[in-house]
Structure 1
Amino acid sequence: MTYQVDLTNCDREPIHIPGKIQSHGFLIAVNSKSYNISYVSKNVEAFTGLEATGLLGKNIADFEQQLEISGDIASLQQLLNLAKVTKTSDTINPLAIDVKGTSYNLIISHSVNDLVLEFEPTESDLGYDIQKIIGRSVSEILSGKNLNILLQNAAFEIKKIINYDRVMIYKFNEDGHGEVTAEVKNDNLEPFLGLHYPASDIPKQARELYKINLTRIIADVNSESSAIITYQDQATPLDLTHSGLRAVSPIHIQYLKNMGVESSFSISLIAHGELWGLVACHNYSPRFIDYKSRDASKLIGHILSSALEYRQDEEDNAKLHELTEAANAIADYIKKDSDFTFALTRNKITLKDVTTASGVALIYDGDINTIGQTPTTDQIAEIADWLKTNMVDTVYSTHRFPAIFTAAQQYSDVASGILACSLSKELGEMIIWFKPEQVTSINWAGNPEKPVEETADGMLQLSPRKSFESWTEIVKFTSEKWKTDEITAVLKVREDIIYAINRKANEIRILNERLQLAYDELDTFSYTISHDLRTPLSSIKSYSELLLATNKSLDDSAKKMLDRIIKGTDKMHMLIKEILHYSRVGRAEIELLPINMGLLLKEIKREVLSALNPENIEFTIGETPSINGDSVMITQVFTNLINNAVKYSSKSNPSKVSVQGETRNNEVVYSVSDNGVGIDVNYYNRVFELFKRMDNALEFEGTGVGLAIVKRIVEKHNARIWFESKLGIGTVFYISFKIS
């Protein structure tokens, strides 16, 4: 039976029923019930002298007698009985027999309604027994510490074992096309390492057979295949799925000839039950490997498959761990820092590290912040607008974005793949990760579009490639695919951010309520100060001045007393004025002027140490870059922080306090650190609240107002304050001032 391959059925070419076998051996098939011969290869006569058609219908016992089979084996009928009761014949194959004085390996396999007997030569072009040297080679293969080294070791050792001219490790990608990932070759051959091959080179049905037959030998591409004959009324071709002699598709034979290859051998590599790739071996002259050597090579394939599966899983797990650790670090940052933009984009680990993306954009609070390689801000805004309309779920991903959003074709080099997660659909807040075009060019071993020829009857028939010169196919608008682990990490980060945003919103609501209450109380207090205190003070001053001016009988002591009363009331008026001025600082505008921080910090240090008089302290002031601010308010901020640092570290021996300034990009960041009692993590979100004090701070004097005032002043300066602390180790407060 012949089967014509055309453009409509290439992937359905019935390569398991070619109707032929390779000519280096011969085949008979017997009915599994009667043991009468139902199929026979025509070349049986060349090997045995028996005419093929004359064998059809004969019983296997008659055939055995005609072949003059000898050897230390049971009869063929007994062997077939044994093969019938087993699902596989691997336990009995191969059987060494003599046919009319010539040694053969007999290999028995199952077909649909038949048992297939294949007779192969025992002589091998290897000239030695692979099984005796396989142990050392496997040890060398497994010494590879990562997947790439493992595969290269495998190619090197397999070439040493079977001595083919070229040995390649060929890996299948998700879309079915393959890539040569490791190669060892003779020096005179051009390299194939890194070349890609289209999926049509090894179509689906061929890949399925590679999962069943773990080794495949093509001994000589130039030899003529031998047809398999059967009864004239027998329309069903013999299924050679499990056959080692099965003939090769003429398309593939021509394919190898075009490459100059005269013999090939392959070992299947299986990972997680699927065909991961092949060990593809090419020889530029005919070469035959006997069944035992092929079986030993199959063992190498099993071991290598297990090893590469383990190494691949190990590398995948390491990458997953890396992404998970990055997501956990992000979660820690947003717990400590209320400025989400800073927490997500300005630390050692950023949003970019949550995936394998080359860039990321954070669209939050009206701003677009980017890290790594990304489109421009305007382009990102366009993408965000598109996502608002087209993003149905909270997470969206594609590795072909320019094909979906054509405007992205102009920046496909940085954004052929996007992974986006929504933070707030109403506000249009989101995070977008970007991947560039995966490969600018792929080197194919020949044109992946197989040329076609028109047959005499007008059909378009597939023809093998005529040339294998490496050419370049430009791959447009695709990126590396997003992995499940990346999407999982993004979902975790999104959950943490949403939780933090909701927590912050709730805190802001509570703080606004408290602030309004504080403003109301402050207005009442201001009224009291203004009227209830100023009026009697004015009266006291007026009466004192009147007495001093009109009473001539006062002695010098009385005059001095009245003069002190007048000066005291003036001072009280000034203090009241300053208190009222400060009470309105949250609502008043401030004037930012340059502040010499070196002088200011030295003065604060002197005053704090004089007031607290610590016994054993190491107080250091590092770099002091200038900032712009209200000098009175900034003095109060640093006085409060330094006072706390000295106070809460007073029980340490020695007490260590350090103040350090540093210029970072467009910011000046000051830190005030101590080795004191530290802050319990349970109080992190209450540190800057009014009248809140930690349990471990109750033995120290304080009102619980200082840090709330500090935060208020810092925010008034459009600056940021945050802290890091460990209980019993110490605390560091950071203040970041923008450089205007």
Structure 2
Amino acid sequence: MDAMDITSQPNSQNNVKLQHFGSIVVLDKEFTVVGVSESVLTKEYLNTEIILGTYFFESFKEVFGKAISKIKSALTDILENGHSRHILPIKIKKNRIYVKLRIYEGHFHVEWEQQHKKYISAKKINEFNFLLDTIQPNNWDRVCLAINRLLNYDRVFVLKIQETGYSSVIAEHTANGLPFFKGKEFSKDYMPADAISYYRGYSYRYSPNVDADYQNFISIYNNINPLSSLLSPIPDLHKLFLKKINTKSSLFFRICIDGEFWGLVIAQNERERPIDLQQRKLCTFAIQAASSKYESHVKQNLLERNELLNLAEENLKKSLSENKMVNCALVQHMDILTDLVNADGLAIFNQGDVFNYGHSPQKAQFYEIIHFLQQHTDKVLFKDYNFRLNHQINFKDSLNFAGLMYLKVGLENDYYLVWFRKESLSQVMQMDLKSDEYENLHLKIWDEVRYDVSKPWNDAEINFVLRLNQIIKESIFAKLKERQLLNEELLSLNNELEMFTHTLSHDLKNPLSILKMGIQFLQQHSDDVDFTKMNKWYQNFSRSVSNIEDIINNMVQLSQHRTSALDKEPLPMAYTIKRIFQENSILYNAINCRFYAGQLLPIWGEKSAAYQIFTNIIANAIKYSSNADNPAIEIESSNEEDLIHYRIKDNGIGIPTQHLPHIYEMFSRADNVGPIPGTGIGLSLVKRIMERLGGNIVIESEVGSGTTVHLYFPIVQDFPDHMLHD
């Protein structure tokens, strides 16, 4: 393509606009001019029709004078040796300029701007270096101070982009010493994805005069992208924002941590104040150094946190392996589980039982929260830092927390770990950008206090919860294997029991037959049998009874060594007991039965065993008091040295005195029960379970006055404090 063909149709690049503080020429790999900024044509008195498509080193010889050879040498070096960029300070017609050369997307960019300072004083450099050396890894206020010693702007502040989309001002230095933005948050609208992409693409962005008009960029091809140039204007929203706060000059330095865009150091001045390239570069180096220090600080903190996490994980794994019940281990470590996610409180919901730690809702409201979560999400992990803001309308009483995160354990909706965070008030600068009928943009900004939100859950905290979930899964799987082995052992025991049954059936036949025959003989010949024969029969009776006793004792001894005590964990009983009463009231149609509950302390026990115990006792109390005029059941508990004592009292028919010694015998029922249903097995079962728990049962009763059952549960070790306030 010859020069005339190229220049015949210049392209405005969709009306691309650039700032006026510099000029740019874009070249192809043969150094042909394929794009220029409008300032090149006006300042240097060049014509578009002549310039586009020409050989750069010929057409710009007069513009750069003798320096054109330096530019040619630098561009050749970039092309041949792969260097990314060069900066050349040169003098043109008594004007000092900086020429910046680089290659971008297959094109050379030759960009230049005025030099405002010939050099920066040694005193200024030394002062700046001293400030840099004294900057601590996480002291962004000191960074702002150092930057402003070079710029002398009205303010310099650090804007950190939050995971939520809001941006927080975490540090600031102002010329008058008064905070301007410190402590505020910027709206989500301030840093949309395209703005982040704009600032991430260059080490800094510069707007020396926000009120200055833009210049056009004219090019041959559509694929030339001058937006990567420093002359590219800042986003419209930010330009309007600067005007709103009466700011003329502004600088935006990017902060990248671990390769990710983290935030900006922003400098603003109400009057136009140009900043020389040297000063901007020094600020860039300073911020990069501060970012490196901060990144090292973050990584060190991460290492220390990982060490804490690993230690916590080991302790949890050990506790989970030592405790037969997963829930018991988690309850014992609620303080650690709360601290490691920086929460204010934690509650564990396990099949209706609730365990609380720290700042958490009342139990009645917590049941509402669990029901709400069960109905509205089936995620394993759910987090919402503004839960109260979004969902308060669904709850009767005010929520005492703002943020919530939960972990669902297992596949059923009956086991949750729920963390809570308190409200964290923040002042947000909200923004609304609209265009009028003439397509002019207008920005409205106002301050707004955000309520009902908490500090967001970050990636490190979420990762810990996910790791915790994996640990729990592994523990549950291990315990399932243990149960599988136990089931195999139980199957073996059942086989042995079947053998014992056959043995008893077979071996007891003879002694029982002898007893039966002897009794029949004596009944038929009681008048004429002599003393010798009678004595012989008595001896046979005695031997038969001894044989029966020996057979039974042997069977018992054989089975005793296979019997083990039940595994125990701390169990809150208030919810369970009330639920059992409600279930049995319905089952036995005892709607008019009143229930009085005193203090219901936790016990050390096994959950299903405890349920069996209280179900049998409460069911009996309801059944045998159903015919009373005003049936009532009272349940209370107390701490007696190393025992938890439960007392269950009813006003039912009572147990006859002569039957009290037999109440724990299988199939034994008092003669005053009448048509009340029952098998006579319940109390026998309760006694056996209490014994396996290491506890005891005592029953007091009087016919017509009712029955009181006393249950004594050993305290294995101290209960968690929060369980004693149930």
Task: Show the 5 A alignment for 1:355-374.
Answer: 355-364=341-350, 367-374=353-360
Is the CA contact (8 Å cut-off) linking 2:195 and 2:235 kept in structure 1? no
Residue 66 of structure 1 corresponds to 62
**Cα shift readout 1:187-240 (whole Å, capped 9, x = no counterpart):** 254431221112332332232232221012211223x23523537xx4748522
Instruction: Tell me which residue corresponds to 1:319.
Output: 305
- 1:28 counterpart residue number: 25
Asked if the contact 1:18/1:249 (under 8 Å) is kept, the reply is no
Opposite residue 39 of structure 1, the aligned amino acid is V
Q: Is this contact kept in 1: 2:19–2:232, CA < 8 A?
A: yes
Change in 2 beyond 3 A, CA 1:512/1:158 = farther
Alignment counterpart, residue 103 of structure 1, candidates 92, 96, 112: 96
Corresponding residue for residue 117 of structure 2: 124
Summarize the Cα distance change of 1:513–1:407 in structure 2 as closer, same or farther, 3 Å threshold: farther
Partner Cα separation in structure 1 for residue 639 and residue 366 of structure 2: 23
SS in 2 for 1:490: helix
Match of 2:432 in 1: 449
> Secondary structure of the residue that 1:288 maps to in structure 2?
coil
Distance 1:355 1:499, change over 3 A: farther
CA contact (8 A) 1:159 1:184 kept: yes
2:156 pairs with 1:171:
no
Of 413, 418, 421 in structure 2, the residue corresponding to residue 436 of structure 1 is 421
1:276 equivalent in structure 2: 262
Letter in 2 for 1:211: R
2:469 matches 1:486: no
Alignment equivalent of 2:253, drawn from 267, 272, 278: 267
Q: How many residues align?
A: 524
Q: Equivalences for 1:675-690 in 2 at 5 Å?
A: none
Aligned mates of 1:418, 1:434 — CA distance in 2: 5
Show the counterpart of 1:419.
406
Q: CA RMSD in A?
A: 4.8
In structure 2, C-alpha distance between the alignment counterparts of 1:159 and 1:667, rounded to whole Å: 70
Residue type of the partner of 2:344?
S
Question: What secondary structure sits across from 2:443 in the alignment?
Answer: coil
- The answer to whether 1:398 aligns with 2:378 is no
Alignment partner, residue 195 of structure 2: 206
1:261 is displaced (CA, Å) by 1.6
CA distance in 1, matches of 2:194, 2:248: 23
Write out per-residue CA displacement over residues 240-264 of structure 1, whole angstroms, 9 at most, x where no aligned residue.
Answer: 2332223344543232121122211
**CA distance in structure 1 between the partners assigned to 2:217 and 2:336 by the alignment:** 69
What amino acid is aligned across from residue 156 of structure 2 in structure 1? Answer: V
Q: Is the 8 A contact 2:409 2:469 kept in 1?
A: no
Q: Assess, with a 3 A threshold, how the Cα gap between structure 1 residues 715 and 216 changes in structure 2: closer, same or farther.
A: same
For 1:208-227, list aligned pairs within 5 A. 208-222=197-211, 224-227=212-215
- Residue number in structure 2 paired with 1:56: 51
Contact preservation (8 Å) 2:65, 2:92: yes
Q: Letter of the aligned partner of 1:430 in structure 2?
A: Y
CA offsets, 1:327-383, max 9 Å, x none? 433333344455766543356845434533333223336522222222332333344
Would you say the 8 A contact 1:17–1:240 is kept in 2? no
Q: 2:448 aligns with which of 458, 471, 479?
A: 471
SS of 2:301's partner is helix
Against the structure 1 CA distance between its residues 109 and 515, is the aligned structure 2 distance closer, same or farther, given a 3 Å change threshold? same
* Unaligned segments of structure 1, at least 5 residues: 1-15, 532-582, 587-627, 629-664, 671-708, 723-733
Say if 2:274 is the partner of 1:288. yes
Cα distance in 1, alignment partners of residues 695 and 719 from structure 2: 10
Taking a change above 3 Å as real, the CA distance of residues 476 and 190 of structure 1, as seen in their structure-2 partners, is closer
Instruction: Give, as a single letter, the amino acid of the residue that structure 1 aligns with 2:25.
Output: I
The alpha-carbon distance between structure 1 residues 409 and 344, as it changes in their structure 2 partners (threshold 3 A), is same
Match of 1:638 in 2: none
Select the residue among 344, 358, 361 that pairs with 2:330: 344
The 3 A distance-change label for structure 1 pair 502 and 413 is farther
Letter in 2 for 1:67: V
| Equivalent AA in structure 1 for residue 37 of structure 2 | V
Amino acid at match of 2:101: I
Give the counterpart letter for 1:352 in structure 2.
T
- Could you tell me which amino acid in structure 1 is paired with residue 23 of structure 2? F
For normalisation by structure 2, the TM-score amounts to: 0.60
One-letter identity of the residue aligned with 1:27: I
- 2:426 partner SS: strand
- 2:496 corresponds to 1:496: no
1:134-156 residue CA offsets vs partner (Å, 9 max, x unmatched): 54443222x33xxxx33233223
Correspondence 1:247 to 2:242? no
Letter of the 2:215 partner, please give it.
A
Assess, with a 3 A threshold, how the Cα gap between structure 1 residues 69 and 719 changes in structure 2: closer, same or farther.
farther
Instruction: Pick closer, same or farther for the CA change 1:360–1:295 going to 2, 3 Å.
Output: same
Verify the 8 A CA contact 2:326 2:472 in the aligned structure 1. Answer: no
Task: Provide the C-alpha distance between the structure 2 equivalents of 1:151 and 1:81, rounded to a whole number of angstroms.
Answer: 41
Shift of the 516–330 alpha-carbon distance from structure 1 to 2, 3 Å rule, reads farther
Matching residue within 157, 179, 198 for 2:146:
157
- 2:132 is aligned, of 130, 135, 138, to 138
Structure 2 counterpart of 1:116, one-letter code: H
- Please list the CA deviations of residues 417-474 of structure 1 after superposition, one character each: whole Å capped at 9, or x if unmatched: 231222573xx6413212336x5543222x2333x24223xx6x54223x4x532244
Instruction: Indicate how the Cα distance of structure 1 residues 719 and 204 shifts in structure 2: closer, same or farther if over 3 A, else same.
Output: same
- Post-superposition Cα deviations, 1:608-666, rounded to whole Å, max 9, x if no partner, equal xxxxxxxxxxxxxxxxxxxx9xxxxxxxxxxxxxxxxxxxxxxxxxxxxxxxxxxxx96
Shift of 1:411: 5.1
TM superposition shift of 1:107: 1.0
Tell me the CA shift for residue 97 of structure 1: 1.3
**TM-score scaled to structure 1, two decimals?**
0.59
DSSP-derived class of the 2:226 partner = coil
Counterpart in 1 of 2:316?
A: 330
Q: 2-side partners of 1:235 and 1:153: how far apart?
A: 47
Alpha-carbon shift at residue 106 of structure 1 (Å): 0.7
* Partner Cα distance (1:340, 1:77) in 2: 74
**Separation in structure 2 between the aligned mates of residue 667 and residue 270 of structure 1, nearest angstrom:** 63
Q: Name the SS for the 2:474 alignment partner.
A: helix
